[in-house]
Structure 1
């Protein structure tokens, strides 16, 4: 079972999300609370995935995200947002968010998103992808991606290419015939060498360095 916690200041939103996720046979919602109780809820219930509202009146989502960064075994965090909150995207990704979901995400897509996050993947709602990629690329010179991947080993470049292609750690392990723990080590190492980027930003670097096309030609696209 994938253990999920939901942090939102509106009880109705928490209940709705919990109902949707609870209908999936492989998902268990272990906690629902507001921002002020989020860190304690994570400590107590040890969720694998946390759905975290960006804007809350007591303790906002970005503050919660920063506090979680210091916890051992912190969950994968997807920020819950609305169309008018895209200004928070870059800051949240820098603070360690694994992705962004719109609050009106379709039920089946929400369940699949949780599975992707639990498997070590990352995701962006289409509404969030444009601001993230556009802003990130705008701040980089065209040749910067090639320069940034120079310190990576050949294996790390393979892993980065698959990250850029949308593969989860589990997918990467199968395709490269590696243990999942080995893939996790490679991911941690390459993210560090890239300057402490998160997974979404690393995927952009992979695309800009022309690694993604080769990986999809070799391994195919990931299954939905």
Structure 2
């Protein structure tokens, strides 16, 4: 089985490579960014992709979208630092067959790889529990965002600070700060940097 590891940290890729040697007849290739990953997808045609979301340049969510669109035969397991429900929900809706945080154990990752490569799906147990508690079906938290929310996220992605956004929208700094807090609550993320990353990835607006 051909496997592509996509992570910008060489240490992480090395650890994954060693872990995957437990599987029979595995051939592994690696990419540190989205552009190289797309090239390897075309050249190597891997059956399985293990994908980090925090990538330089082309973001992980956008890369996931392209892999699913252009290489539908490939199965994708997202392995991310993000354990928030929003990231898992969006990745699954974009076509990932599995989602785990980097807090998952090596044994659970191998279990996910085996299940996904056999045609199944896998969500890390703790994240799956939170998804089940939130709704009977996987819903998209981004659908709760208003047009004002989306505009603020776009401006954050353009590199503007809260004061600059307040000036651009003709509202107070406090209004923008409060709205950012509401957006984070809607998406289930904790940091403004998450909003910036999601804006840059197109992870919120593109699938609405």
Q: Say if 2:95 is the partner of 1:90.
A: no
Change (3 A) 1:131 1:30: same
2 CA distance for matches of 1:61 and 1:39?
A: 12
Q: Say if 2:23 is the partner of 1:41.
A: no
1:64 Cα offset (Å): 0.4
Kept in 2: contact 1:9–1:35 (CA 8 A): no
2 CA distance for matches of 1:12 and 1:98?
A: 24
1:139 Cα offset (Å): 7.7
TM-score w.r.t. the length of structure 1 is: 0.55
**Can you give the 5+ residue segments of structure 1 that lack an aligned partner in the other structure?**
141-224
Please give the per-residue CA displacement for 1:115-151, whole angstroms capped at 9, x wherever unaligned. Answer: 21111011010122023333442788xxxxxxxxxxx
Please give the per-residue CA displacement for 1:149-195, whole angstroms capped at 9, x wherever unaligned. Answer: xxxxxxxxxxxxxxxxxxxxxxxxxxxxxxxxxxxxxxxxxxxxxxx
Change (3 A) 1:45 1:137: same
Q: Say if 2:117 is the partner of 1:118.
A: yes
Kept in 2: contact 1:76–1:117 (CA 8 A): yes
TM-score w.r.t. the length of structure 2 is: 0.59
Structure 2 equivalent of residue 67 of structure 1 = 66
Q: How many residues align structurally? A: 139
1 CA distance for matches of 2:48 and 2:103?
A: 18
1 CA distance for matches of 2:138 and 2:76?
A: 25
Kept in 1: contact 2:84–2:127 (CA 8 A): no
Structure 2 equivalent of residue 145 of structure 1 = none
Aligned-residue Cα RMSD (Å) equals 2.3
